[in-house]
Amino acid sequence: MVSNQKHIVVVGSCMIDFVSYAPRLPGPGETIHGTKFATNFGGKGANQCIAAAKLGGRNYACRQGTNPFETPYKSFSCIIFQVGDDIWGKKYIESLKNDGIRVDYVEETEGVSTGIAQIIVSDAGENQIVIVAGANLRLSVQDVGTAKDVIADAAIVVLQLETPVEVAIETLRLCKGISILNGAPAIAQFDPELLTLPSIFCVNEPEATVFTGLPVNNKSEAETAAIKLLSMGCKSVIITLGAAGALYVSNEDKQFVHVCSPSVKCVDSTGAGDAFIGALAYLLANRKDLGIERALLYACMIAADSVTRPGTQISFPGPEILKQVV
């Protein structure tokens, strides 16, 4: 399951993360003192794009205003999303350019705010997140149509559900390479094409519960949920298991692949799932020799590395980690 093409297209969300650090997560109705505050760039779509770009899917020609398709770089990342016409939208676009990401299809929407996420991180690395989607909800099927050529030519197309569902479905229809749909945030009522169209449907344990209606609290229950997702039309399924790694199964042979995650000291788990998906996208696009099992293993190792540092995009490792894991 690896493409001959190299570039990665992410259709999805961006958020400004307002992050408060505290000794523990507050209970309902409780006010507690925090220890630190930070403002970071986030959102599942942008996070996954940055994770892939940092590993090698960058194109520094983007900084110079040239066409990435006309440069000799093997791999680059392109993102399609909406920001608000506020200071945060402009800052986000500039940040993406600085990271070597193609932003031709990023639009500023008038009269709406850039998406924001309010995040609380405990000393144990656990988090609580509330998002206000803002401009992300303005991403449309027409926006996807404008980018249909770059989507069709991509090695990997990555999507999530922080933007309208119809956008994901239209993108999946246009995709001719490998598509990864991250079913997050999970939804209980959905168009069946969300499951039948992607090459890979990827969720964590709570998300798998929402999509299947089954309890998913361990590897055994994840296997049961994965089989149900296959019966619902998925071509292949990944269920991420946090510190326990990830589980993969496809409809071709229904043989489970379970990879473990290394044991690390967790500082901040925010964005670990995005690091996993971005890494997997990069590896499937650029390392044909690995195969799905080793690609999953290395994606878990890269995600585990990201939780050893605070923040989201700023915690994602660069290409030097590939020398350690690949």
Q: Is the pLDDT of residue 244 over 60?
A: yes
Q: Is the pLDDT of residue 171 over 80?
A: yes
Mean pLDDT of 169-178: 97
Q: What percent of the chain has pLDDT over 90?
A: 84
Catalytic annotation on 274? Answer: yes
Alpha-carbon separation of residue 326 from 176, 199, 233, 262, 321 (angstroms): 27, 23, 32, 14, 8
Q: Give me the pLDDT at residue 75, please.
A: 58
Backbone angles phi, psi at 216, to 5 degrees: -135, 100
Q: pLDDT tens digit string along 194-235?
A: 999 999 999 999 999 999 999 999 999 999 999 999 999 999
> Does the annotation list 323 as a binding residue?
no
**What average pLDDT is seen over the chain?**
91
* Whether pTM exceeds 0.85: yes
Torsional class of 309: left (φ above 0), alpha (ψ -120 to 50), beta (otherwise): beta
- Domains of the chain, start order: 8-325 (3.40.1190.20)
> Does the annotation list 162 as a binding residue?
yes
The one catalytic residue in 99, 143, 274, 305 is: 274
Q: Give me the pLDDT at residue 57, please.
A: 73
Q: pLDDT tens digit string along 77-111?
A: 999 999 999 999 999 999 999 888 999 999 999 99
Q: Give me the pLDDT at residue 323, please.
A: 86
Q: Give me the pLDDT at residue 71, please.
A: 39
* Tokens at 128, concatenated: 């609580």
> Does the annotation list 268 as a binding residue?
yes
> Does the annotation list 15 as a binding residue?
yes
Q: Give me the pLDDT at residue 272, please.
A: 96
